[in-house]
Chains A and B, each alone.
Chain A
Amino acid sequence: MKINRRHMLSLSAGAALFSIAGHRSAWADVPAAEKRIMDFAGGKTPASGKITLTAPEIAENGNTVPISVNVESAMTGGDMVDSVIIVADGNPNPEVATFHFTALSGTAVATTRMRLAKTQNVIAVAKMADGSVFMDKKEVKVTIGGCGG
């Protein structure tokens, strides 16, 4: 009785990738997402750790995908998160949102819902008050519904 939907998913994802291949030029590609991250990071290479991006492994519908970020920080004095960007490397444009935190935020935690045009990576990058940058990345598989999807 174990769930065995990977085969179905890979078939659907394959179809999805194929169907947009003809319009490739209109879509963000990995370098566009990388450029956005580099601009935000001020040329630094983001380190791993500190930031956790939570996203579903499989989104039931790409139009509404819940995502959360959580950055470890005391949010006082020098240990502050300035901002977090969310980037999607397979959308028409890589930008998704930029969160700005303050001392009144208490924690650097935020949740929203985003659109994913296809299976792709969602990337969250945090910039700390001291200029250091941290990154987390999750691949989200976007399924194609059978029914009006």
Chain B
Amino acid sequence: MAAQPKPRIKVPKEAKAGEVVSIKTLISHEMESGQRKDKDGKVIPRKIINKFACEFNGTPVFSCDIDPAISANPYFEFSAKLTESGTFKFTWIDDDGAIYTDEQKITVN
């Protein structure tokens, strides 16, 4: 996609305290591996998202160091177990230094 990378997040709106909830994230990004060549035989420079992180109320939940072998439009599914309501913060770091973020609230009762 030529447009600015855009995250998609799926987090339940509510959860019970101590329940394990599933979180899904997807972001549009071509993940140029640095292995491909253009029509003139020149290597297309690597440009990937190299790091993804999820934190909850400022505490790390899950993160991933990403290599070029991760597919375009990187998808991550993982879990979280919470005891209080709060906000998830999601961060993707691009090779070019750009940072994409998104947030989502969850009510824990």
Contacts and interface: CB of A to CB of B under 8 A. Distances in A.
Interface in A61-103: 63-65, 68, 75, 88, 91-93, 95-103
A147 interface: no
Interface string B39-72: 0000000000000000010011111111111111
A105 B65 contact: no
B59 A110 contact: no
A103 B59 CA distance: 10
Contacts of A93: 67-69
A120 B8 CA distance: 31
Interface residues of A, number: 30
B61 A104 contact: yes
Contact of B79 (A65, A98, A109, A112): A109
Interface in B62-98: 62-72, 74-82
Nearest to B73: A113
Contacts of A98: 64-65
B109 to A, nearest CB: 17
A88 B69 contact: yes
Contacts of A99: 62-64, 78
B70 A109 contact: no
A100 B63 contact: yes
Contact of A105 (B74, B75, B78): B78
A9 to B, nearest CB: 22
A112 B60 contact: no
Nearest to A104: B61
B67 A95 contact: yes
A110 B76 contact: yes
A92 B43 CA distance: 14
Contact of B65 (A97, A102, A109): A97
Interface in B3-50: 20-21, 33, 35
B65 A104 contact: no
15 contacts: A68-B77, A75-B81, A88-B69, A93-B69, A97-B64, A98-B64, A98-B65, A102-B62, A104-B81, A106-B81, A107-B81, A109-B79, A111-B75, A111-B77, A113-B70
